Structure 1
């Protein structure tokens, strides 16, 4: 077996993660961003918006308002701080640094992207919770996805990972759906937010992977704390 084959055997999982979790989402985000820059119209945006709006009722109004508020920066920022303090209390400084970079970096990237692309909001109907800032990519989608992806990464080697992933996926989906339901984001805004955060957080987790493995061997990883 030559050196190339040995290296591939040792690092195949990392390569799969990079391809499926970084390159594919990055490609999708880049495709969406290019079309936004060129003022292209996404054929799926309006039909999805109108379809979701056609099912509006008082019960869904209340549910979607709840999830859009739950996915807001005002609601998630205190949670971000609590997780950071918990990791510091456990003396998991590398995990705390990862957490700050994951959620804080996603927030900064979103602010930058909104001003770079300067896409207007949908205006097909009067929203229950109107927005005046730029639309692309969705901040709610990016923040919620960054939080969930980072939590999954931190708990990946614990027995809690599938529960965290399941609850997280449902939460991220409902937050994204609420933004479409309320008419304040195009579906392409949501998709761009999800892919941007996945690219960012999974890329970070790959960079931190070797450090975490060393910490797990010494019994100080956050995953061991959850076991």
Structure 2
């Protein structure tokens, strides 16, 4: 069956508008991550980071310490990644493409995070009296990468439903809180958190463009 001319014009119009949005949503965040990675790989830094970390250390409270410790446990890859695998397993039984989408989004972001840490090897902050102590490279923040990728994947899967707003609002608050906690606890620089957010955003939008999960539940 030959598509009607009006439908062909609509498809072409959507493609023309989709490509710039894809380049902006995927290319720009990943380009910023690449720039920061190169900057830090050669020993560079950002002047405001230490001052921000010191400021947060100066306003620490018992409640804030408790929240940061809790988020440290809840955002760990040993918890988030298995959770993503379980969600993907459930989705395989509902709509197989959605399961693959969640695995590709969260798993791919995790692999990129691991590769960047090995290549950039940026030291973590050295702060007297830091709330938490962690070893190894710190760029980008794994807690933020895993959390942001999972939230983005769930929002995309639920996009045809009203539940997407619950995921977007609560998920955004969760990821922002996670980023705050990592800097507050003294285990990450601010740029580690920003790069983690951008990495998950860019990679997640790329996977949305490939899998188009928002249309799967409509089939």
With structure 1 as the length reference, what TM-score do the two structures score? Answer: 0.86
2:27 to 23, 40, 48: 23
Distance 1:156 1:142 in 2: 21
Shift, 1:71, TM fit: 1.0
1:52 to 50, 56, 59: 56
The answer for unaligned runs of 5 or more in structure 1 is 219-227
2:42 to 25, 38, 42: 38
Q: Deviations over 1:156-210 (max 9, x none)?
A: 121111111010100001111111011000000111111111111110110112x
- Equivalent in the alignment of 1:141: 144
CA contact (8 A) 1:36 1:119 kept: yes
1:73 to 72, 77, 89: 77
The answer for unaligned runs of 5 or more in structure 2 is 1-8
Distance 2:134 2:162 in 1: 40
CA contact (8 A) 2:160 2:214 kept: no
Distance 2:25 2:170 in 1: 19
CA contact (8 A) 1:125 1:183 kept: no
- Equivalent in the alignment of 1:225: none
Residues 70 and 12 from structure 1, CA distance in 2 versus in 1: closer, same or farther, beyond 3 angstroms?
farther
Aligned residues: CA RMSD: 2.1
Q: How many residues align?
A: 213
Shift, 1:81, TM fit: 2.5
- Equivalent in the alignment of 1:223: none
Shift, 1:6, TM fit: 6.2
CA contact (8 A) 1:145 1:194 kept: yes
